[in-house]
């Protein structure tokens, strides 16, 4: 997809003059373990900016850290970054986030906060010991318990048991977590959870606490479905109805997993592609860890209506997807890797396809979220052809990669791919062995959009997602029907092809001609990117004035846009059914209206 650019996701703080260090601790000269020092980096009278630095002064790696301190009455932290900061009255606790808990000998890490009041921290503790290193903090935290096993599953209860964790100080108790939230603390290695809802999926993990009150990592997750009928029947029909959920949408777009519930879309889809994981050095990696599994949600923001806690093992989008699946058990979630921006690493991945597949499975099956994902999607733009960069790995590389993924993931996982829809002679479909690769994949998401747009600044104006060809189309083969026909001719079964729908429009400015084929001077203004705008905006700002090749277009002022509407989607779904296609997919949820007009059109059209 041409416009899949990852939004900047960092948090910025003011660059302010550095104030003097306030040393609550200085590293001891003797054999020490870990220290914490505090600095007030800015003071503006009624408030201030503070920074803690944690340093491993020992000889062994530490895997987590917790800094505690007291503020005098009237002083508090108001916001924080690079740590999860909570308080109980005037006692404050800062715990590492997922990416900065491990410190090798000699390494250090800092976190900061904005505060109000005039006081300074006192009574500093680090991992239960002193912050100056003169007394050794608690030794290693407990190991992870074994992944729980489930038995005696009923409509409303399940018995869980697990193998014990180990710790040099001895295990005190275990926390049992359901869907990431603690539901019990027990001294033994079993627990019966009750009061559950029949026909519902739940995910359980366990973590240990030692006699020094250190908490270890969570176990692997076990997914349990209670017996009885689910309260949310799956959508009718046997067609795939898949939407992309963007990782970065939680920032500027302010679009979260809960929006799938409030819009009514969750009840009308069958699958979600979570996008995008990155491909670096020939390996699958999580891209934005904060959005994926660290961002804390309040009760009103979360799918379950329960607020995240600082110490739960999984937060962010992944935990929200877990909660969504508990509420809508019919939904399957795939982790999508690549996209327009992150496809540059696929060539290296194809050179060692088995190692790539193994790395992808380790990400998808990470024990913190193994129950969230039901499969993997590869969005390589484009094998043996040019996208943001040009790939020269050869026509067999895509098939090799697909075969390795299926071998690694096995028959029980979904393995899919988003692919080009260039149906021209000698075009991108002809550049790779999509026919040969199809045997290893459950389906193809055929990206039947972005054919035309203001990346050709002077036009001619043309619908970006034409269903069929039409007289005057700027490029032969650039339409859905030709792309689908070409893939079928290469041996791809119709049922393994999904028709793509864009929940956005592409547009030009400087256009005087209402009908397609006009000249332009450049891209029309867009909320996030010139030449692109969400359907939810365009339906009101530039209503459709005509249709061409199964897609709507609109001429308003000197701007010209093309986009799909509920009416054109309904026609496209009828065509997909007539072709025996496996269903449809769309890019992406946040472009739809608050009540999910376009998702409803896909759902209704495929019934």
Known catalytic residues are 381
- Would you tell me how many other CB atoms lie within 10 Å of the CB of residue 561? 29
Cβ atoms of 135 and 78 closer than 8 Å: no
Pairing of strands 497-502, 444-446: parallel
Residue 591's contacts (CB-CB under 8 Å, 6 or more residues apart) are: 502, 503, 504, 534, 535, 536, 598
3-state SS, residue 602: helix
124: helix, strand or coil = strand
In the sheet that holds 122-126, the strands lie side by side as 84-88, 91-95, 66-70, 122-126, 129-130
| Element housing 489 (H / E) | helix 480-489
Phi-psi region at 522: left, alpha or beta (left = phi > 0; alpha = psi -120 to 50): left
Sheet containing strand 76-81, edge to edge, reads 21-22, 34-43, 47-56, 108-116, 76-81
Helices (H) and strands (E) in the chain, counts: 13, 32
User: N- to C-terminal Cα distance for the chain?
Assistant: 27
Q: What is the radius of gyration, based on Cα positions, of the chain?
A: 27
- Closest to 561 measured CA to CA, from 508, 502, 504: 508
CB contact set of 388 (below 8 Å; sequence gap of 6+): 340, 341, 343, 344, 381
Q: Quote the CA–CA distance of 41 and 327 in Å, as a whole number.
A: 45
How many Cα neighbours within 13 Å face the side chain of 18?
A: 6
Q: Are 80 and 59 in contact (CB under 8 A)?
A: no
* Cβ neighbours around 8 below 10 Å, total: 9
d(CA 296, CA 302): 9
Chain centroid to CA 368: 14
Buried b / exposed e over 48-70, threshold 16 CB at 10 Å, is: bbbbbbbbbbbeeebebbbbbbb
């Amino acid at each position: 997809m041409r416009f899949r650019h990852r939004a900047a996701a960092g948090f910025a703080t003011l660059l302010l003059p550095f104030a003097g260090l306030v040393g609550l601790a200085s590293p001891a000269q003797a054999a020490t373990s870990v220290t914490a020092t505090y600095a007030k980096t800015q003071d503006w009278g009624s408030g201030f900016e503070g920074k803690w630095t944690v340093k491993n002064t020992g000889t062994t790696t530490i895997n987590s850290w917790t800094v505690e301190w007291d503020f005098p009455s009237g002083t508090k932290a108001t916001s924080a970054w690079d740590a999860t900061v909570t308080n109980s009255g005037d006692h404050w606790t800062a715990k590492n986030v997922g990416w900065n808990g491990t410190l090798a000998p000699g390494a250090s890490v800092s976190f900061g906060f904005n505060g109000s009041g005039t006081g300074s921290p006192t009574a500093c503790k680090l991992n239960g010991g002193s912050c100056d290193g003169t007394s050794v903090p608690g030794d290693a935290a407990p190991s992870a318990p074994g992944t729980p096993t489930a038995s005696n599953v009923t409509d409303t209860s399940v018995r869980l048991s697990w193998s014990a964790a180990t710790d040099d100080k001895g295990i005190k108790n275990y926390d049992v977590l359901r869907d990431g939230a603690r539901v019990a603390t027990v001294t033994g290695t079993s627990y019966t959870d009750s009061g559950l809802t029949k026909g519902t999926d739940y995910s359980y993990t366990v973590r240990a606490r030692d006699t020094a009150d250190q908490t270890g990592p969570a176990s692997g997750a076990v997914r349990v479905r209670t017996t009885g009928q689910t309260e949310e029947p799956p959508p009718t029909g046997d067609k795939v109805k898949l939407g992309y959920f963007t990782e970065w949408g939680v920032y500027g777009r302010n679009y979260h997993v809960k929006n799938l519930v409030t819009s009514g879309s969750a009840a009308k889809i069958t699958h979600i592609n979570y996008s995008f994981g990155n491909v670096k050095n020939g390996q699958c990696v999580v891209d934005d860890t904060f959005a994926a599994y660290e961002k804390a949600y309040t009760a009103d923001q979360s799918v379950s209506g329960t607020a995240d806690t600082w110490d739960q093992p999984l937060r962010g989008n992944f935990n929200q997807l877990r909660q969504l699946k508990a509420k809508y058990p019919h939904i399957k979630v795939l982790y999508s890797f690549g996209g327009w921006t992150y496809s540059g690493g696929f060539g290296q991945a194809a050179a060692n396809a088995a190692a790539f597949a193994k790395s992808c499975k380790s990400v998808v099956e990470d024990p913190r979220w193994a129950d969230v994902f039901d499969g993997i999607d590869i969005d390589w733009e484009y094998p043996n052809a040019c996208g943001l960069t040009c790939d020269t790995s050869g026509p067999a590389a895509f098939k090799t990669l697909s075969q390795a993924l299926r071998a690694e993931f096995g028959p029980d996982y979904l393995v899919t791919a988003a692919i080009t829809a260039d149906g021209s002679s000698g075009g991108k479909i002809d550049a790779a062995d999509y026919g040969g690769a199809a045997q290893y994949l459950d389906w193809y998401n055929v990206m039947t959009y972005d054919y035309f747009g203001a990346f050709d600044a002077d036009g001619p104006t043309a619908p970006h997602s034409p269903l069929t060809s039409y007289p005057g189309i700027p490029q032969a083969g650039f339409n859905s029907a030709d792309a689908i026909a070409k893939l079928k001719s290469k041996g791809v079964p119709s049922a393994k092809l999904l028709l793509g729908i864009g929940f956005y429009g592409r547009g030009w400015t400087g256009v005087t001609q209402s009908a397609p084929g006009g000249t332009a001077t450049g891209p029309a203004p867009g909320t996030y990117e010139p030449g692109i705008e969400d359907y939810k905006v365009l339906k009101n700002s530039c209503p459709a004035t005509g249709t061409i090749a199964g897609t709507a277009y609109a001429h308003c002022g000197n701007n010209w846009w093309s986009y799909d509407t509920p009416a054109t989607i309904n026609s496209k779904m009828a065509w997909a059914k007539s072709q025996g296609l496996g269903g449809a997919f769309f890019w992406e949820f946040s472009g739809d209206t608050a009540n999910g007009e376009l998702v409803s059109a896909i759902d209704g059209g495929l019934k």
